[in-house]
Amino acid sequence: MSSPSSPAESATAAATADGPRDFIRQIVREDLATGKHAAVHTRFPPEPNGYLHIGHAKAICLSFGIAREFNGWCNLRLDDTNPGREDPEFVQGIKDDVRWLGYEWHELRHASDYFDVFYRAALKLIADGLAYVDDLSVDEMREYRGTLTAPGRNSPYRERSVEENLDLFRRMRAGEFADGSRTLRAKIDMAAGNINLRDPALYRIRKVTHQNTGDAWPIYPMYDFAHALSDAMEGITHSLCTLEFEDHRPLYDWCVDKVDLPNHPELWQSVVAAGLEAKPAKPRQIEFSRLNLSYCITSKRKLAQLVAEGHVDGWDDPRMNTLRGLRRRGFTAAGIRLLIERVGVSKQNSVIDYAILENCVREDLDATAPRRMAVLDPLKLVITNLPEGHVETLGFANHPKDEGFGSRDVPFARELWIEREDFAEVPPKGFKRLVPGGEVRLRGVGIVKCEEVLKDGDGNVAELRCTLDAESRSGLPGADRKVKGTIHWVGAPHAVAAEVRIYDRLFDVPAPDAEDDGRPWTAHINPEAKRVVQGWVEPAAAQAEPEQRFQFERLGYFVADRVDHRADAPVFNRVVTLRDTWARQG
């Protein structure tokens, strides 16, 4: 019997295992194979100022997925350095979304866990002559910064002495100065070609209550400073970021190198004293292209605007591409993970057709969703050669491709509901369903013939009176008789009334925020993105648990709404159609 392998041996084995071969995973494999790292440590660091959206799914799947593939671990770290915009509601939402996607974090951390570390690191940079307190206003700082083609100018406060800077920064910490009146800046190079290195701000004064630390801090670190040092504190080996952070990488490395946490344990003893594990190391930032989908908005600000202006019914509205919205719509975590796998990882920005996401969800649901029958635009059909009150029970497979799903009983009666579009008085060319005098097969029953069409006072078709060919019933010789069409149905006496919400893409153009037609992006909200109809479902569908998904035969994939559905008042959301209907519109 072999002895259990060490984490390093497990990581080495994982490095040589088969799996995706994108450039990030290749870097990880090489780092493990050469012994640069004994284990892989990643993190997912969202800011809790909104709910996660489909774009975040790629970052989640990449950071958590790589850690899982290489037998490492991934932290969930909440970047809570911007109090006032952040909310515990969003913190809980982020945790729920990560778990829903199928991942669990090694540790839950917050940037605020390291506020004392950041402060001490800033004092070290000042003492080393690498940071100074600046009195320029935000507008003046922008003016001094220069442009992409012209170098910046040194602040008149850049040459303050170390002693004066230490004194001013400590007084900033003590809360002596007004919001925005002073800033701590790194002293790097105002002529640097990379504007991010032109003495970037490290700290600003903000007298705002923080959700974790209360009023303990009147100053807060800037993102670039906090992000780099948080990664270093946690021993992150591969810090995976989207491409917009590529120009920030030199500043990331500058902060890591100049503070040098591994060799300065006095800076982070407060973290150890608080009972958190500290394993400072030098992380490597690697950038990849973000997930951009057509017909989508992935700006948190614009998503918040949709909610605030009432264009949608909240962050979890099934029209939203927030993860909680997609979940309520009925999209599956497996379908989203499949999209991320198929899109792959590269450094090339591109826009992925929304249809690819829908197809990934369809593919998952085709295999995992049991079948049920429902009628969304009902037309009554009466089988006149069955006796009044006739009811029988028919057995139906729950999944035509997988016997493991078992079967169910479906009540069949003399009176049925069928889809109104399955009948045409004047059929269009190629119509293969029911017409006056014509025949069609009722799914699982037999062949019926339309003998009479009854209309209401307005001339609308109200009822079809048909006869059933008894010899065409299942198991009888006539069951093999050929007719052109097969339609589904629901037995009227046992049908359960259901609210069915027909959802579609929220925007009706591929790039809604391009605004290249001179119209605001909100003008492209699809008015057909939500329709509500009252339909009928078979009893087995009504008994669904919230979030249970089905294929309603011939209609699409549907989910029992996770908030509003009840067995005595069913509510179903359409997840996706059976086929891509948008391709035909193009």
Averaged pLDDT, groups of 10, the chain, 586 residues long: 48 55 95 97 95 96 97 97 88 97 97 98 98 97 95 98 98 97 98 97 96 95 98 98 96 98 97 94 96 93 95 96 97 98 92 95 98 98 96 96 96 98 94 95 96 94 96 88 94 97 95 87 95 97 97 98 96 94 56
* 449 tagged catalytic: no
Q: d(Cα 546, Cα 412) in Å, to the nearest integer? A: 26
159 an active-site residue? no
pTM: 0.91
What pLDDT shows up at residue 1? 42
Catalytic residue among 43, 145, 300, 362: 300
Classify residue 549 by its DSSP letter. E
Q: Give φ, ψ of 56 to 5 degrees.
A: -70, -25
Q: What residue type is 179 in one-letter code?
A: D
Q: Which strand (E) or helix (H) includes residue 566?
A: none
Tell me the CB-side half-sphere exposure of residue 218, using CA atoms within 13 A.
17
**Phi/psi of residue 583, each to 5°?**
-60, -35
Residue with tokens 């940037």: 111
Helix (H) or strand (E) holding 238: strand 238-242
Do the Cβ atoms of 506 and 549 come closer than 8 Å?
no
8 A C-beta contact, residue 76 and residue 52: no
**Contact 77/27 with Cβ under 8 angstroms?**
no
In degrees, rounded to 5, the angle at the alpha carbon of residue 311 between the alpha carbons of residues 556 and 300 is 95
Query: C-alpha 511: how far from its chain's center?
Result: 19
What's residue 524's pLDDT?
95
Residues 70/11, Cβ–Cβ less than 8 Å: yes
Clarify whether 300 is annotated catalytic.
yes
Using CA atoms, how far residue 240 sits from 40, 282, 389, 562, in Å, is 12, 14, 66, 33
Residue 372 CB-density burial (10 A; 0-12 exposed, 13-18 middle, 19+ buried): buried
- Catalytic, out of 290, 380, 432, 554: 290
Q: Output the CA torsion 69→70→73→77 (10° steps).
A: -70
Which pLDDT score, from 0 to 100, does residue 19 have?
64
* Torsion, CA 259, CA 263, CA 264, CA 269, rounded to 10: 120
Picking from 88, 529, 546, the residue whose alpha carbon sits closest to that of residue 313 is 529
Per-residue pLDDT, 6: 53
560 touches 545 (CB < 8 A): yes
* Cα(409)–Cα(392) distance, integer angstroms: 10
**Beta bridge mates, 241:** 287
Q: Cα–Cα distance between 579 and 135 in angstroms, integer?
A: 61
